Chains A and B, each alone.
Chain A
């Protein structure tokens, strides 16, 4: 890779790695697996940079989703962590909507992989349904179905807490 490409790749990683890692974290529901997944995707991108440099974001997202939803190619190097590993105990912060991290991750882990991916793409990244359908190679109707079911599962564990900390 020449210096220009190398600099562009580094800039891409610096600018986008955090957002991609956060998506990977929810796609895998496991911090270590997310780091492995992102590293794997970035290595793949590094090897192909001259071909994908025009649109690295699209490539990264497609690769993340492909690998996260296709265990045939997702080489997990570590087992998924127990429900609360690496996750701070949820502390009500007096915000109007307080989520239990562990509960959210627990629900995500229970969702089928593709449904989990739809939830992350739709509700974390605000991706349009048509784009998610394109990413996952499924119909918009399937995306709607997955997102509705995933939303319902997550909504059920997200108990709103009022500013004084009491349950609503």
Chain B
């Protein structure tokens, strides 16, 4: 017996009834927000060239992509991320568009996670990309759209914002080699205080090392700014902090309370972020369900350098946890044709009922007893014979 015929590959699953309802419910709610804000849907191919996701530009490791080859033996990957394909699409096909363009997507991404960890390899993602604009207004719009989306599907969420240039500026001024800088970045990302301290202890101590040492603990409410301004002296880093502060103050008018917080040590693994970065969390799920930021860098090397920002939401995890009304969609009437001669009449009658808004179902069974049993088992109240 080939058991592969009976199971799905690790990290994937079938979605049945209530699970589909939950996924659709979450998707529709968020999609409606995107559409109302005039974002337009695009669908990119499930397969892309491996080259598009090179480690420097994507930050996605080679091991975590599903790879195959095309008919010319070029390596292609099963879409691991939607932002880079959309950037490709914009630079090649939307050059003559009126910018900024506002795009959204609703498509799964695939990651080859290590086995037996219980992680999903297939993640349904919804996201927006606001391409062709820079500055505060664009950043505000992307963040508020993220807030609206999270509020629509969860009562208890946190959105945390930071700025990629805080760490980048400090890292540029740090006297250390690239390997050490890379390590330091990982330690800050993982809030690994002890390893970070060990690594910094080996370097020449100055105000930069002191600032980097404090970064992972600089998260929370607006008290973070005061702490940061006391420790961080780098001009560039302070500029980024000032910018973040002004955004944060503007966002206070949304009255989100502690749903909105700050993390000055937030560094996203993707190298392409160049400005604000943010992550969203919901109660009961152990990892970020939303991540995004400004990624002007992606377009730097293209024919049309420009600003861009966006975010992606992982729907699966929200659908598992989110409140949703799930009722099994049962027919009210079962229409049975007593002979082959009346089949067409019965089909037409069912169609008429459906048109009138009645949940009617045509019975495919040819035996009346079987059909009645079927109706009884499902709890269909009305049985009509034609």
A binds B: no
The chain B residues found within 8 Å of chain A, CB to CB, are none
